Amino acid sequence: METKDATGKDSTGPKKKNLTFLKQRLYMLERRKTDTIVEKNLSADLNSSGTLRRSQSDRSEYSQKLQEKMAPQAGSSGPVGSPLENEEQLSRRMMAKRQKIIAEMVQTERDYCHDLDLCIRTVVEPLRRMQIARFDVDGLFSNIESVHQISAKLLSLLEEATTDMEPPMQVIGGVFLQIKDLLEDTYKIYCYHHDDAHILLESYEKDEELKQCLRDCLQSLK
């Protein structure tokens, strides 16, 4: 039965609006508390990166947390048209995907390091030995030797972090944190001179003698 105030007007409407408003406020407060807890946990994780080498107990704890994150939430369902995966199956599938991504990263860095080494040995060094006065080898290739060195260092650290390690124990984030300053300093120089090197190459391609020198070096790569 609807209630009326002293003036005879229906007062149910405002009460319902107030109740709805209070429910919304309580919901937002609960969300803020949850978000605050998540942000604090995330901040704590980022501030506790530690050293690259973890103790066995630290690695075991990391593995357990990783598997917990990969586990499906209660009541979740699989893709439409596929049977519902249990927790163990989904965890194995996601771990296999993670392992594949790490393996691809290591192989990509290995290939890149090999290509840099090949370029230095068969192009850069022979051009330097020619000692052509109007050919600026350093201007054309910038600090390619430093790029090769940092790439080799990164590859070594990645291999160290993944070789003979069980997939859950492979932690590569610390590798990039350890070497990030060297990567930034090295590529900052390389990128800064990139456009100038491109202009220099275009000018050399108009000089038949210099162009032939480049062709001879590139021919040895085949």
pLDDT tens digits, one per residue of 114-172: 999 999 999 999 999 988 888 999 999 999 999 999 999 999 999 999 988 787 788 88
Q: Which two tokens stand for residue 38?
A: 């998540």
Q: What is the mean pLDDT of the chain?
A: 76
The model's pLDDT over 39-98, given as tens digits with 9 standing for 90+, comes to 444 444 444 444 444 445 555 666 666 666 555 554 444 454 455 568 888 888 888 898
Note the pLDDT tens digit of each residue in 190-214.
999 999 999 999 999 899 988 888 8
CA–CA distances in Å: residue 194 to residues 163, 190, 203: 35, 6, 15
pTM, two decimal places: 0.60
Backbone φ/ψ region at 142: left (φ over 0), alpha (ψ -120 to 50), beta: left
Residue with tokens 């199956």: 89
Q: What is the secondary structure of 55-119 as a DSSP string?
A: -HHHHHHHHHHHHHHHSPPTT----TTSPPPPHHHHHHHHHHHHHHHHHHHHHHHHHHHHHHHHH
Residues 213 and 152: beta-carbon distance below 8 Å? no
Cα angle 151, 156, 157; round to 5: 100
pLDDT in tens, 88-106: 888 888 888 988 999 999 9
